[in-house]
Structure 1
Amino acid sequence: MLPSLYAWLNIAAMWDPYSHTNQIPVGLVNEDKGAIVRDKHIDAGKELVNELNGNKDLDWHFTNRKKAMKELRNGDYFAVIIVPENFSESLGTVISDHPKKAKVEYYVNEKVNSISPKITQKGASMIVEQVSSKFIGTVNGVIFELFNEIGIELQKDLPDIKQFEQYVFTLEEDLPEINKLINNSLQDASSAEEMIDKAQGMIPEARQLTSDGLETINKTSAFLSDAENRLQEMAPKINADIQKIQKVASDINEFLGKVQGKEIDLSKGDQINNQLQSQLTEALGTLDTIQAVLTEAKGLNNAPKNQDIDQNEGESQNNIPQIDLTQIDQAIEKTSQLKSDLQQVQNKASEINGVLEEKKKEFNETIGSLQQLAGDTSVKIDAFAKEYKEDVEPTVMNEISKAQKTLSSAREMLTEIQVSLPEVEKILHRTDKNLSKGKDALEYAHGEFPYVNEKVRELADKIRKLQGEANLNDIIQLLLNDPTAERSFFEEPVQLNENKIFPIKNYGTGMTPFYTVLSIWVGALLLISLLSTDLRNHEDFTGRQIYFGRLFTFLSIGFLQTLIVVCGDLFILGVPVRHPFWMILFGLFISLVFVLIVYTLVSVFGNIGKALAIVMLVLQIAGSGGTYPVVLLPEFFQVISPLLPFTYAVDLMREAIGGIVWQSVTRDLIALALFGLAALLFGTFLKEPVNRRTKAFLAKSKEVDILH
């Protein structure tokens, strides 16, 4: 029963030690004063205290620094966690250019216990992780809320962004043309400056020209008014002269009519000729008068040009519209024709005397011809009179009126120009100043163009690269993600999805293989301590017979010990075992091997064998990997671990409890069998030779009362 107690008590004590961490007292001191971050008050220390009030992982004691440190020194607190006064302030620096990490002070009394500091440190780490997780989640929640707003704005502005990209590409294509335009504009600005300077220099001259032009227009207008008056005065006289000519022509025609066909006294030919010549001369004089008047009227239009004026006035006058003189020219031409016709009549009349003397016969013909010519002339005079009255006179007066209206419009135009000249002068001055600034801007743009050219091309290349690497629509969809979900994600970005291939329910179950194997070895040690491996009177038996005879006794008791231990694990402690049957069989096989080893050592070497068995126990407890993985042990134990039976026995029990992998089981069984076989062979063939050599030493040791 003794080995089973060793296993059961240890397994029960370690059954679930971490379920009682809420009984470990830990002091928490909150000295945080809070902070103002973007007009909002935060108090992370207070939030931490409120959070830990409902935490049952440790026995939290909320106190002040002085009391906490005193209780820690006395061992009443296993650890103390202090939240400093600048805790919230440090967390708030995350939005600054130089964020500062928040710190939590942790004090531990390692003298109290070797395991408790690890548990309390886990509690402190839990606080840091909890605060960090909550802080990261909060900050990222705010960030993703901003991202969400940005995503919405980007989605709205996506057409503008696409258009901007197109603008950049278009600008990139147009850069050479823009450079050319800047150069041309710079040259044009220089030319414009020269033109404005020239225009400003011509303002006084323009002012003088407008003044001279107005003066000339006024003179011309006055002259036209005077011409109109004079034409109106001459119109009655011209009409009277025309009527007089008509009367003369009529009288001549009448006279010739009377003469024709009558017996004329040829001796009176001179009298007739003189009378006719007198009337014709009077008619020709009247025509000369009409022609002179019409010529004078024609000259009225050219009179202003013939006046003695300066060059500038002459240039202005050239722009004054002239009267249409076509009708006057036609009237003068027709007057000349009438005059020519009358002169022909006069010439014919002068021939009367010659005809009378030379050719009486032809007198009547001449008179007829003369009468016909006179009649034609009379008709032409009547037509001319009518044309002059209906066409010439109204046309001349109308042209004079039109010229006066044109001069009035020109006067108004020049007056407006004269009034606008000061404003023009101001505009030219202002334009000159603005052009100077514009030229400076153009020169600056020309100087900065290489830099702008480079940056625009770089921007275009970056946009093309971004388009090749990422889709803006995908980015917008990412930014539109739910901020609450993103916040929850960053509070716990990675969840540990634990999948237990060979689940072990608790810490006690995990330690069962080690303590069960340990109890089996301890049972073997108890047997050799209580039972003798030799006979006092053994003269009748050989060493081999004694070895095997005692071996079966030890094995029988060892099997019974093992059955008690294993069945106690299963039925008394209720250890959850995947393969109970195999656990019992593996336990019996382990007992066989361990009893063989321990019994053989003691049977062959006596008390020295007992010491060797104890040494092996000590080495196997540390080097078998029963408590800590072998890889965590010092190199010495890593080297000897494959040479220890415990290593394979513990693994064999773990297979039965957690789940069997037969490859591992086979390896462990073979290794243990080799250990047992070695012990059996060693005892079978070496017990008797070794005992003979140690017989004298054993006899001496028995004489001493101290040794067993």
Structure 2
Amino acid sequence: MKNILRIFKYDLKKIHKNVIAMIVIMGITVIPTLYAWFNIAASWDPYGNTGNLKVAVASSDEGYSGELLSVNLNLGDQVLTTLRGNSQLDWTFTSAKKAKEGVKSGKYYAAIVIPKDFSKDMMSIFTSNVTHPEIKYYINEKENAIAPKVTVKGANAVQQQINDTFVQTVSQTALEAFQLVNNVADETDDQTIADNLSAALAQISTDLSSAAGTVQAFSDMANSAAIMLNTTTEFLSQSGSGTKASVNALGVAGNGIDSLNSALTGTTDSINQALSQSASFYSAVSTCVGNALDSYNSDAQACANALTAVSGRVQNLIDGYQSLENSLSQIADSITEPNLKGMLMQAIGNIQKAKASQEAIRNAINDAATGITSATANATELKNNIDSLIAQSNSSISTVKKDYENNVKGSLDDLANDLTSTGSSITSLLGQLDNSLKDISGVTGSAAGNLTEVQKALSDSASLLNEASGKMSNAATAMLSSDDNGIQLLTSLLSEDPEAIGSFLASPVKLNETHIYPIENYGSAMAPFYSTLAIWVGAVVMAAMLKVNVSDNLKHKLNNPKEHQLYIGRILLLLCIGFLQSALICLGDLYFLGIQCEHPVLFVLAGCFSSLVYVNIIYALTVSFGDIGKAIAVVLMVMQVAGSGGTFPIQCAPEFFRKVYPLLPFVHSMNAMRECIAGFYGMNYWIELGKLALFLIPALLLGLILRKPVIKLNDAFTEKLENTHLI
């Protein structure tokens, strides 16, 4: 122990007598403090100075003028207005082109560009074709590693602000509209409002039901017209397929019937034209019967049979007219408008006249058939009777036809003239029979199909109207049966400030942040890392600047002391300098920089104890391995800078650093200092110092025991280096 103290006193005496030595020792003591203080000061509050980061902002937004909502909205302009008062970043307002070019050139760290359809796309949420709006964000990551992280936070803040502004604007507009309704409601008591609304709903239900009945009636009418057209088509198809015997027997009479079918080509677009067909038909029948009786009395029975078949077809037409009359009557009953009702009643009268005319025609055909059967007895009398019946039928049909021409459809004289002109050419009529029947049948068939589709559409519409009527009726009933609590609640809600409610809807959830161990600034949070690093750097500087071995002259004066005495005697000087370094670093952190610290005395203690451990580690390496030991100390420093979790959480580091993390002295020094800065948790401070003390064991083992076998090897290595005259 005596030799250890003598070595220590000898070192102090040499320093005291040598001014240069004192200056060097002072430099070794002060330089590490500068390393810590400059780094802590530089990172004191970097995120508080983000207002110096230039970020370009450009808006090409053309805005939105509401067709969907009664609101004029330009989110791009609102963003620019808000950012002008925002000092988080150095927002520079320019055009989209200049913003992008500025990012490329490095003039701006980033750029935010709002496109021209931005507001319009935002409002597309109220349409069936939703388009997600986009903000263009351009960033230059070449300029700096941290700046992009800061600017992207600004871009995210802009995005959140736009979302909040959109929701607040839409909500506020809707609430203002509701409030307008509420102001009107304030002038009337709640029950009156409910009664009026219920009555309105009931009236709407009644109107919908009436409309459904009308549409259904038109559907039935279309169905009836389709039946009549189908009957006409079937009649025309079958009229051209009579037996060969009937055609031969009828001769001219058959050609007369064909003339009637040819005349029907213009009748497919409406039921009214059937009257003209009937009149022309019986003109042909008159000619047919007259020619048959004048030519061959033996053919009278065949002619009568053909006329009987025609009578059956006429009856089918009469049935169609009856169905059409019923449909029109149903429509007339459901309509209260006088003019429209009068027109429908006139149409019904026309249908009734047409039906009566058809019945007269049918009876005339039957009488003609009966007369032809008995014509063999007195052909002249039979012909006169038939001519008389046909004349009466033609007169009746002519009257009805004239009524239709004047009131409904217009003149059909051309059709009758065509029938008359064709009667002179029996052979020509026979050749035209098939083609005429095919044309008429095709047109009437197509019209019948179209009427069927119309009937289906009308029927579906009637069903939908009935369904809507039922829903309105239910709503009216519910309005009458409900109490007024809901109305009062709605009135109370709408009485509130729309702006306040819109603001709430834009951001309904607020984050209540609680700092368990609050730290005032980023510099205070980084002080443990930079202070620990400076203490290690100070130990490395001492090992590099001071001789770690006792001189041979001193050894001779001490009568060749033991190795452990030499080791401990010299390390005492380094420990004293290390304590001065760490104390100055920690006191400068506290009182020069003014870092936050809950336990300043223990903070200085943690720094001094860290210096004790670091000096032992570095001194043992240097004494044992010389320059190689110094290199190992530097490598350990670099490894601890990367893997101690001083700047980023160790969980973010690669797997190798996560594995060596518990084995690094920096970790425990920083944890102890953090306890002092932010506040204690249990015995963590003392536990971390205890873990740090464990590193003294391998350091002392190496310096006092394990280094002895390698002393000679290290001396030989040192001699070789000196022989190079370079190191």
TM-score (normalizing by structure 1) = 0.55
Distance 1:649 1:432, change over 3 A: closer
1:436–1:58 CA distance, 2 compared to 1 (3 A)? closer
Counterpart CA distance in 2 for 1:432 and 1:557 is 118
Among 572, 582, 586, the residue aligned to 1:562: 582
Q: 1:435 to 1:575 in 2, by over 3 A?
A: closer
2:190 matched to 1:156? Answer: yes
1:532 matched to which residue of 2? Answer: 547
**Pair 637,476 (structure 1): closer, same or farther in 2 beyond 3 Å:** farther
Give the whole-Å Cα distance in 2 for the aligned partners of 1:141 and 1:495.
19
Q: What is the rounded CA distance, in whole Å, between the counterparts of 2:72 and 2:194 in structure 1?
A: 39
Aligned to 1:23: 52
**1:98-137 counterparts in 2 under 5 A?**
98-137=129-168
Cα deviation, residue 652, structure 1: 0.8
Deviations 1:479-514 (A, max 9, x none): 765533221213333333332222211111111111
Q: Secondary structure at the match of 1:81?
A: strand
Which of 507, 511, 526 is residue 492 of structure 1 equivalent to? 507
Compared with structure 1, are the counterparts of its residues 638 and 430 closer, same or farther at alpha carbon in structure 2 (3 Å cutoff)?
A: closer
In the TM superposition, residue 113 of structure 1 has moved relative to its aligned partner by 1.3
Aligned to 2:628: 608
CA RMSD of aligned residues (A): 4.3
Offset, 1:430: 11
Residue 643 of structure 2 corresponds to 623
- Give 1:599's match in structure 2, choosing from 619, 630, 634: 619
Match of 2:414 in 1: none
**Structure 1, residues 293-342: CA drift from partner, whole Å, max 9, x if none?**
xxxxxxxxxxxxxxxxxxxxxxxxxxxxxxxxxxxxxxxxxxxxxxxxxx
Residues 544 and 688 of structure 1 are in contact (CA less than 8 Å); yes or no, is this contact kept in structure 2? Answer: no
Residue in 2 that maps onto 1:654: 674
Asked whether the equivalents of residues 533 and 602 of structure 1 are also in contact (C-alpha less than 8 Å), the reply is: yes
Alignment of 1:62-81 (within 5 A): 62-81=93-112
Q: Using the alignment, how far apart are the partners of 1:436 and 1:23 within structure 2?
A: 83
Write the mapping of 1:82-481 to structure 2, written as runs, cut at 5 A.
Answer: 82-145=113-176, 156=190, 433=329
**Cα distance between partner residues in 2 of 1:594 and 1:51:** 53
For structure 1, the 5+ residue unaligned runs are 169-428, 439-443
Q: Which 10-residue stretch deviates more, 602-611 or 145-154?
A: 145-154
Distance 1:529 1:613 in 2: 11
Alpha-carbon offset, residue 689 of structure 1: 2.4
Matched, 1:6 2:26: no
Query: Partners in 1 of 2:600 and 2:160 — Cα distance?
Result: 41
Equivalent-residue separation in structure 2 for 1:136 and 1:23 (angstroms): 31
- Check 1:477–1:99 CA distance in 2 against 1; reply closer, same or farther (3 A cut): farther
Distance (Å, rounded) in 2 between the aligned partners of 1:60 and 1:632? 32
**Quick check: 2:517–2:678 contact (8 Å CA) kept in 1?**
yes
Q: Percent identity?
A: 37
Aligned partner letter, 1:16: D
Instruction: Tell me if 1:590 matches 2:610.
Output: yes
**CA–CA separation in structure 2 for the residues paired with 1:28 and 1:108:** 12
2:90 matches 1:59: yes
Q: Cα distance, 1:145 vs. partner?
A: 4.1
Aligned residue identity for 1:497: N
Cα displacement string for residues 524-578 of structure 1 (whole angstroms, at most 9, x for unaligned residues): 1101111122234257132222221122111111001111111111121122222
Mapping of 1:659-670 within 5 angstroms? 659-670=679-690
How big is each residue's C-alpha offset from its partner over 1:562-595, in whole Å with a ceiling of 9 and x where there is no partner?
1111111112112222211111111111111111
Q: How far is the alpha carbon of 1:648 from its aligned partner?
A: 0.9
Structure-1 residue corresponding to 2:224: none
**Residue 702 in 1 paired to residue 722 in 2?**
yes
Residues in 2 aligned to 1:482 and 1:40: alpha-carbon distance in whole angstroms: 18
Deviation at 1:684, TM superposition (A): 2.2
**Is the partner of 2:510 in helix, strand or coil?**
coil
Contact 2:624 2:714 in 1 (8 A): no
CA contact (8 A) 1:151 1:477 kept: no
Q: Write the letter of the residue equivalent to 2:136.
A: E
Tell me the amino acid that sits aligned with residue 128 of structure 1: Q
Sort the Cα spacing of 1:705 and 1:471 in 2 relative to 1 into closer, same or farther, 3 A: farther
Residue number among 518, 524, 529 corresponding to 2:533 in the alignment: 518
2:694 and 2:128 mapped to 1: Cα distance?
69
Distance 1:144 1:691, change over 3 A: farther
Look up the match of 1:298. none
Residue 535 of structure 1 aligns to a residue whose secondary structure is: coil
Residues of 1 paired with 2:580 and 2:702: CA distance? 25
Residues 361-388 of structure 1 show CA distances to partners (whole Å, capped at 9, x for unaligned) of xxxxxxxxxxxxxxxxxxxxxxxxxxxx
Q: Residue type of the partner of 1:518?
A: L
Tell me the residue number matched to 1:418: none
Give the structure 2 partner of residue 234 of structure 1: none
* Correspondent of 2:665 among 630, 645, 655: 645
Give 1:132 shift: 1.6
Which residue type is aligned with residue 696 of structure 1?
A: A
Amino acid at match of 1:27: A
User: Deviation at 1:82?
Assistant: 1.4
CA positional deviation for 1:471: 8.6
Q: How far apart, CA to CA, are the structure 1 residues paired with 2:654 and 2:141?
A: 23
Indicate the residue corresponding to 2:696 in structure 1.
676
Look up the SS of the partner of 1:505 in the other structure: coil
* Offset, 1:654: 0.9
Pick which of 595-604 and 481-490 moved more.
Answer: 481-490
Aligned residues: 439
Partner in structure 1 of residue 378 of structure 2: none
Instruction: Please give the alpha-carbon distance, in whole angstroms, between the structure 1 residues aligned to 2:40 and 2:714.
Output: 41
Q: What is the DSSP-based 3-state SS (H/G/I as helix, E as strand, rest coil) of the residue aligned with 2:512?
A: coil
Q: Give the aligned residue type for 1:80.
A: A
Provide closer, same or farther for how the CA distance between residues 435 and 553 of structure 1 changes in structure 2, counting only shifts above 3 A.
Answer: closer
- In 2 relative to 1, CA 43–551 (structure 1 residues): closer, same or farther, beyond 3 Å? same
- Using the alignment, how far apart are the partners of 1:493 and 1:588 within structure 2? 51
Letter of the 1:3 counterpart: P
Q: Find the aligned partners of 1:123 and 1:680 in 2 and give their Cα distance.
A: 53
Aligned partner of 2:516 in structure 1 is 501
Task: Report what 1:35 is aligned to.
Answer: 64
Shift of 1:630: 0.9
Question: Retained in 2: the 8 A contact 1:29–1:82?
Answer: yes
Corresponding letter in the other structure for 2:523: G
1:626 shift after superposition: 0.7
TM-score scaled to structure 2, two decimals? Answer: 0.53
Q: Check the 8 A contact 1:26/1:60 in 2, yes or no.
A: yes
> Residues 88-115 of structure 1, C-alpha deviation per residue, up to 9 Å, x if partnerless?
2222323322332222211111111112
Shift of 1:157: 6.3
- Quick check: 1:544–1:687 contact (8 Å CA) kept in 2? no
Query: What residue in structure 2 maps to residue 189 of structure 1?
Result: none
What SS is found at the alignment partner of 1:666? helix
Contact 1:32 1:84 in 2 (8 A): yes
Counterpart of 1:533 in structure 2: which amino acid? V
Task: Give yes or no for contact 1:147–1:480 (8 Å, CA) kept in 2.
Answer: no
